[in-house]
Amino acid sequence: MSILEVRDLYIQYLTRKGAAKAVDGISFSVEKNTTLGLIGESGCGKTTTAMAIMRFIMPPGKIMGGKIIFEGNDIVKIPEEKIRNLRGEKLTIVRQEAQNALNPVMNIGDQIAEVILEHENISKRDAWERAKQQLDLVGIIHKRVKSYPHELSGGMRQRVMIAIATACNPDFLILDEPITGLDVIVQRQLLILINNLREKLNLTATFIAHDLSVISETCDNVVVMYAGKIMEKASKMDLFNNPMHPYSKALIKAYPSIRGEKKELMSIPGVPPSLIDPPRGCRFNPRCKYATHICREEEPEIREVNGHSVACHLIK
Amino acid sequence: MKEQEILRVEDLKKYFKIKRNALEKLAPKEQKYIHAVDGISFTVGEKEVLGFVGESGCGKSTMSRTILRLIEPTAGNIYFNGKDITAMRRHELRRNRRYMQMIFQDPFGSLNPRRTVSETLRQTIRIHRLVNTVEEEDNLIWKTLEEVELNPPDLYWDKYPASLSGGQQQRVSIGRVLILRPKFVIADEPVSMLDVSVRIGVLKLLLKIKEKYNISFIYITHDLSTARYVCDRIAIMYLGKIVEIAPTEEILQNPVHPYTNALLTAVPDIDPNIQVHDVPIKGFVPVIPGESAVCRFYPRCPYSMEKCGEEEPELLEYSKGHFVACFLKR
C-alpha cells in the first residue's frame, strides 16, 4: 500500500528572466515501511519536491499542477489549518544544515516538547518527559535536555533534529541531506541511527542526497532526477547493479570508491541545463554521449523495462 | 632521492593562545595553549601528491596555512627547494610565494565577485609582473583558460564568478594558481563543495597540470575516496599529529592504526551488496589538548593498553614506506 503518491507534479519559480521549471511533471509513490531515495545533482529539484510534500513552497515558487496524495488527502489542495495539523505529527522533515534549523535561543528540550504540545493534549511536564525519552532514543544522554544548540556538535544537533521529527510518531519522514557536511565517522553513526530508527518506529521515509553511497546504504527504492525530471526509477539493487539510463550510469561511474580495485572514473562533461529554457527533447541530451537525432527532438516518456521505469529513447 | 625533494617539513608546531579574561590575567595563572599542529614532519617529492586526511579540527588547515607562512609557526622548519621558509625575510618570502600557491575549498568565496574571469587572472599577472604588455597579458590569460578547460576562452572572458557553476569557478581558481607556474600547490578540499558529477573532472585537471608542469601537491581532505584517486601517499591526521602515513593503496588495503581503520570502515559505499558495519570507536573528537605525552587516540581506541596512557608512540616504520604511530603494532 502506498502511503504517499506524487502525481504529475509541476513546480515553478518565477524569476525576472522567466519561469524556472524546478519540478516538471514527476510522479512516484512510496510504499508503507519502505524508504525512497531521491538523487541528483544540485538544482535538479530534489529539495523542491520535499518542500512541496510538506507544502512549504512559498512565492516566488508555485505548484502549477499535479497531486500529492498523502493518506487519502491531496496536500496541494487541503486547507492551511489541516496541513498545519499534519506537519510535525504525521508528516515531518529533517532539514539540511541542522545548525541553522534549530532555534538558537531555546534549549533543545523545549524545542522537542514544543512539537509534542502542539499536536497532543498532554501536560507540559509529560511533554518534557517525552523530550527526554526522545533524546535517549537518538543517543544523546537526557541530562543534556537543557543544552542550547550552540553547545552541541554538528552531529548532535542533527540528532536533535531527528528527535524533533520523530517525537509524534510520524507516518512519513523526509530526510533532506541529513548527513551532508559532517565528518565521516559522525556520518556513519547517524546512518546507523537512522537505519535503527526506521526499524524500531516502522518509518516510511524519503531520503534526499546527492551522495549515491548514502542512498545505497539506506533506501529500498531509488528515483534519479535530472533538471526537474525523473530519469529512472528502480529498486536499489536493480539501480546500482544494473543501471539503465545513461545519466544513472554516468553518476555511478563518477563515484570514487575506496573499496575493491581502483577503477577508472569518468566525469560527466558539461553542466546541468537552465531550468528557464531547458533543451529540447531529452534534458540530458547535451551531456549524453549516446544522444541521437530523436533525443534532441522528442522528449522521452517514462516506460517500464525489466522492472525499471526509465525515460530514454535508446532503451528498447 | 634527496634532490627530488621539493618540500621538507620538520617538527612543525602551531600553538594558539587560549584567551584569558581579566581576572585570570591578574591571577598568577599559567597561559594555556591549544596545540593545533603538534610536531609534524614529512617530505613531498617532485610531482608527488601527498594527501592529508582527517576529521574537522585535526589541524590540517592550520598546517597548510603554516606551511605557506600565512600564519607564523610556533616552532619547526619548512624547507622549500632547500631554503628555509621560516627564516625568510618578508620580501624574500614574497618572491618565493609565486612558487608556492594554494587552492581553497570555496571557489566562490575565494574569487572577487566584482571582477570578471579575465580581470581576476590579469590581477595575478600584474602583481607578480609576469609580462610587460597588455597584449602579452591577453595571450597568457587566453592560454591559461584553455589550459584549465574553460573552452572557448571567449565565452568566459567577461563573465563574473556568480554566473559560473561551482566547477567552473574552481577552474578559474586553478587557472589563477597555474598562471604563476608554481612548483608546489596546497589544495585544501578543492572539490568538497562540488557535485559528484563534476568532481572527477576537476581532479583530473589537477592531475593533468601536475604532470605537465611538474607541480607537487599537498591535497587536504576529509574524503578518503577522492584522496585515493589523486594521491600518491596519504597521511592520516588526528589531533595535530600524523598517526599513519603510507603509499595510497598500501594504507587502504593494509591500514594499521586503529584510527585509520575506523575512518576506512566509516566511509559509505556505493555497492548495495556490502553489509554496513558500525565504527569500532566511540565518542567524539575531543578538543585538542595542550601538553600531553600520551597517545592522543587512546581515550577512544578499542585496543588501548596501559602503555598508551603513559607514553606517546613515535611515528616508526612498520613496513617499507609505511609509518605508524601506535604501540599495538610493533
Please indicate, yes or no, if residue A104 is contained in any of the structural domains. Answer: no
Cβ count near A314 (within 10 Å): 16
Q: Is B197 on the interface with A (CB under 8 A)?
A: yes
Please indicate, yes or no, if residue A249 is contained in any of the structural domains. Answer: yes
Chain A residue with minimum CA distance to B200: A267
Q: Is A122 on the interface with B (CB under 8 A)?
A: no
Q: Is A141 on the interface with B (CB under 8 A)?
A: no
Please indicate, yes or no, if residue A77 is contained in any of the structural domains. Answer: yes
- Asked if A211 lies within 8 A of B268 by C-beta distance, the reply is yes
Please indicate, yes or no, if residue A110 is contained in any of the structural domains. Answer: no
Lowest mean pLDDT among A223-237, A258-272, B59-73, B234-248: A258-272
Q: What is the residue-averaged pLDDT of chain A?
A: 91
| A228 Rama sector, left if φ>0, alpha if ψ -120 to 50, beta otherwise | left
From B237, B201, B172, select the one nearest B39 (Cα to Cα).
B237
Report the distance separating Cα B113 and Cα B110, nearest Å: 9
ipTM confidence score: 0.81
Q: Is B46 on the interface with A (CB under 8 A)?
A: no
Distance of residue B294 Cα from the nearest chain A Cα, in angstroms: 23
- Chain A residues inside the 8 Å CB shell of B274: 259
Please indicate, yes or no, if residue A108 is contained in any of the structural domains. Answer: no
Which of B197, B219, B265, B276 to probe the A interface (max A CBs under 10 A)?
B197
Residue B142 has which C-alpha cell?
587566453
- Identify whether the C-beta of residue B257 lies closer than 8 Å to the C-beta of residue B236: yes
**What are the tens digits of pLDDT across the range B196-247?**
888 889 999 999 999 999 999 999 998 898 999 999 999 999 989 999 999 9
Distance of residue B258 Cα from the nearest chain A Cα, in angstroms: 13
| B203 vs B22, higher pLDDT | B203
Q: Residues of A numbered 198-227 whose beta carbons fall under 8 angstroms of chain B's beta carbons: which are they?
A: 210-214, 216-217
Cβ count near B132 (within 10 Å): 8
Find all residues with CB under 8 Å of B84, minimum gap 6, and list them: B77, B78
- Asked if B200 lies within 8 A of A256 by C-beta distance, the reply is yes
Average pLDDT over residues B285-306: 78
Please indicate, yes or no, if residue A184 is contained in any of the structural domains. Answer: yes
Q: What residues make up the domain containing A283?
A: 2-90+168-310
From A118, A112, A212, A114, select the one nearest A157 (Cα to Cα).
A112
- Chain B residues inside the 8 Å CB shell of A217: 268-269, 272, 276
Name the residue facing A41 among B197, B226, B265 (closest C-beta).
B197
Q: Is A15 on the interface with B (CB under 8 A)?
A: no
Q: What is the pLDDT of residue B24?
A: 74
Q: What is the pLDDT of residue B2?
A: 45
Detail the DSSP E strand segments found in chain B.
Answer: 5-17, 33-45, 49-53, 75-80, 83-84, 100-103, 184-188, 216-221, 233-238, 241-247, 316-319, 322-324
**What are the tens digits of pLDDT across the range A189-210?**
889 899 999 888 888 999 999 8
Q: Is B199 on the interface with A (CB under 8 A)?
A: yes
How many structural domains does chain A have?
1
- Asked if B268 lies within 8 A of A214 by C-beta distance, the reply is yes
The CA-atom distances, in angstroms, between A277 and each of A16, A18, B276, B304 are 13, 9, 42, 60
| Residue A20: CATH number of its domain | 3.40.50.300
- Asked if A267 lies within 8 A of B204 by C-beta distance, the reply is yes
Average pLDDT over residues B107-119: 93
Lowest mean pLDDT among B29-43, B115-129, B214-228: B29-43
Please indicate, yes or no, if residue A107 is contained in any of the structural domains. Answer: no
Name the residue facing B229 among A191, A250, A265 (closest C-beta).
A265
Ranges A47-51, A179-183, B22-26, most confident: A47-51
- Asked if A188 lies within 8 A of B268 by C-beta distance, the reply is yes
Q: What is the pLDDT of residue B30?
A: 75
Residue B163 has pLDDT above 70, yes or no: yes
- Asked if A192 lies within 8 A of B276 by C-beta distance, the reply is yes
- Chain B residues inside the 8 Å CB shell of A273: none
Distance of residue A19 Cα from the nearest chain B Cα, in angstroms: 18
Distance of residue A169 Cα from the nearest chain B Cα, in angstroms: 26
Which of A151, A185, A213, A216 to probe the B interface (max B CBs under 10 A)?
A185
Please indicate, yes or no, if residue A25 is contained in any of the structural domains. Answer: yes
Q: Is B229 on the interface with A (CB under 8 A)?
A: yes
